[in-house]
Amino acid sequence: IVNSTVGDAKKRQMDGFTIDQNEKTPLTTYFGTKVSETDIALRAGARGPTVLEDFHNREKISHFDHERIPERVVHARGAGAFGEFKLHTPLTGLTTAHILTDTSKITPAYVRFSTVGGSRGSADSVRDPRGFAARFYTDEGNWDLVGNNMPVFFIQDAIKFPDLIHAVKPEPHNEIPQAQTAHDNAWDFMGLHPQSTHMQQWAMSDRGIPRSFRHMQGFGVHTFRLLDADGKSTFVKYHWTPHLGTHSLVWDEALKLAGQDPDFHRRDLWDAIEAGAYPKWELGVQLVKEEDEHKFDFDLLDSTKLIPEDLVPVKNIGTLTLNRNPVDYFAEVEQVAFCTQHIVPGMDFTNDPLLAGRNFSYQDTQISRLGVNFGDIPVNRPVCPFMTNQRDGQGTMFSKSNRQAYHPNRFDILPTTEPAKGGFRSYPEVVSGIKERMHGPKFNEFVSQAQLFYNSMSEPEKQHIISAYQFELSKCYETIVQQNAINRINLIDHDLALAVASSLSDIKVPDAVPNHGQKSEFLSQVTGKNQTFT
């Protein structure tokens, strides 16, 4: 089943963890005792009670009883595949990260695609953002680029994430609907959160129903940093562009597929890889010099905004190829644990408050989902040598041959007073400020990029957005929720609000929004027009 990839260190490592079980191996207990009978439990007489003594029966049932682990609190439904990343255009001088500077390397990679809101068994073709979580098993440690198929997010600050997810997940009283935002709580949230306006446009557009994982773009969303050998920083946004082009389903197809083949996307990825039609993506970067940080009329730390490509073009630097299906879904897809905090030397974070929360959240949730030793699980292990002072904990898988588990110690090869050469170092950013619950002033503009998005759509695409809103809002029971949503849509485009509202009862579309006189610099640069937005 497994296609071999020359030089794939991750495959070699995983092979070492694959238990070769087939029909020729006699059935044994977990601990190796050959079993003579597995269909009938040990009983005191053919019609008598089943006896406790039957350790095989107890082991079989007991293991089954504990087969389920908590599904991911979001992105529960997904599919993954292994592959490789090859850099073709090095970012020499901008970063020391080998994966972004050394074109001779082939780096083993892994991607898990997912929906966001639905449970593990929900349908693939629902309207939702898609996760695009990529892992690079670099020779300097794992780099996880945990992105989505949309370049922006619903919220600006991770403290809002529990609110967002509680609102968009099935309603608490009746657990309806299974996997969609077409319900009162979701639209109540969006109506009351201006910051969701831009992402809402992406979700209601054809981007919300991709044709397949192979036809999806991906985005790191946040602004990250690259660091050169002297610690100089360049801002970077990451983009994935599929070689097959970006394509979507139409809503009617999405609805039918949800019934006919709820595994449509998962199957498509699996079948393509089995057939040797390996999907490929270009990794692109948008680079912004440190000194240009404040040149935009949006904040680079605001994940509800993108950097228009007209202002900062995307430069493709390498190719990702997915060429190997997992051997065991649970072991290699359910148990993969991405963390945004997994970066390598030559990279760093910015102060994006959404990213800061994610850097805490992923590892935290994985401790309850997989246990504190989730790093020992083969799919999560780096391929480079690693040495930590961690020890013990549930699920410890390996015996460590050394005795040191503290620092400093008499065995240490590292100097104890200064960081190891080539080790990870944070960007020495100067920070000062009053401790307060505040965002920068540019965080308060929510509409201009939503308008940019809507105005860039063709007429059929606009019609799809109108239909999507009509469908979603028709599922809301409460007029106040629909009205708030229409008020918000009206800020994007008055005609859009009129069109959506035409299918709803008892909704009043407010007047077209007057010009507030706020000039949008980047929009005027992009469109050549001076536009004003609220």
List contacts with ligand HEM (CB under 6 A). Answer: 72-75, 78, 112, 114, 131, 133, 146-148, 153, 158, 161, 221, 303, 336-338, 354, 357-358, 361-362, 365-366, 369
Nearest distance from residue 332's CB to ligand HEM, in Å? 12
Nearest distance from residue 199's CB to ligand HEM, in Å? 9
CB closer to ligand HEM, 72 vs 462: 72
Q: Does 75 participate in catalysis according to the annotation?
A: yes
Rounded alpha-carbon distances, angstroms, from residue 265 to 111, 257, 352: 14, 10, 32
Q: CB count, 10 Å around CB of 314?
A: 17
Kindly report the backbone phi and psi dihedral angles of residue 172, in degrees, each rounded to the nearest multiple of 5, phi listed first.
Answer: -65, -30
Q: Give the separation between CA 39 and CA 41, rounded to whole angstroms.
A: 7
> Of 142, 148, 185, 380, which one is the catalytic site residue?
148
CA 374 distance to own-chain centroid: 18
* 94, two tokens: 């901008």
**Pure H helices in 117-177:** 161-168
Which residue number has the CB closest to ligand HEM? 131
Q: Give the separation between CA 511 and CA 192, rounded to whole angstroms.
A: 19
Q: Does 148 participate in catalysis according to the annotation?
A: yes
* 405, two tokens: 């588990």
CA 474 distance to own-chain centroid: 29
- Cis before 177? omega within 30: yes
CB closer to ligand HEM, 224 vs 264: 224
> Of 56, 75, 193, 265, which one is the catalytic site residue?
75
Nearest distance from residue 299's CB to ligand HEM, in Å? 15
- Name every residue whose Cβ is closer than 8 Å to that of residue 459 and which is 6 or more positions away in sequence: none
Is 406 flagged in the annotation as binding?
no
Q: Give the separation between CA 123 and CA 264, rounded to whole angstroms.
A: 8
CB closer to ligand HEM, 233 vs 335: 335
Q: Give the separation between CA 249 and CA 270, rounded to whole angstroms.
A: 19
- Name every residue whose Cβ is closer than 8 Å to that of residue 195 and which is 6 or more positions away in sequence: 154, 155, 156, 160, 304, 443, 446
CB closer to ligand HEM, 114 vs 233: 114
Nearest distance from residue 357's CB to ligand HEM, in Å? 4
Cβ proximity of 115 and 77 under 8 Å: yes
- Secondary structure letter of residue 261 according to DSSP: -
Nearest distance from residue 331's CB to ligand HEM, in Å? 14
Cβ proximity of 128 and 118 under 8 Å: yes
Nearest distance from residue 79's CB to ligand HEM, in Å? 9
Q: Give the separation between CA 214 and CA 353, rounded to whole angstroms.
A: 31
Q: Give the separation between CA 96 and CA 514, rounded to whole angstroms.
A: 50
Over the Cα atoms of the chain, what is R_g? Answer: 26
Nearest distance from residue 186's CB to ligand HEM, in Å? 16
CB closer to ligand HEM, 95 vs 366: 366
CB closer to ligand HEM, 131 vs 242: 131
What is the chain's length?
534
CB closer to ligand HEM, 78 vs 208: 78
Closest to 394 measured CA to CA, from 414, 374, 371, 427: 371
Annotated binding residues for heme, written as ranges, equal 362
Annotated binding residues, written as ranges, equal 362
- Active site residue ranges: 75, 148
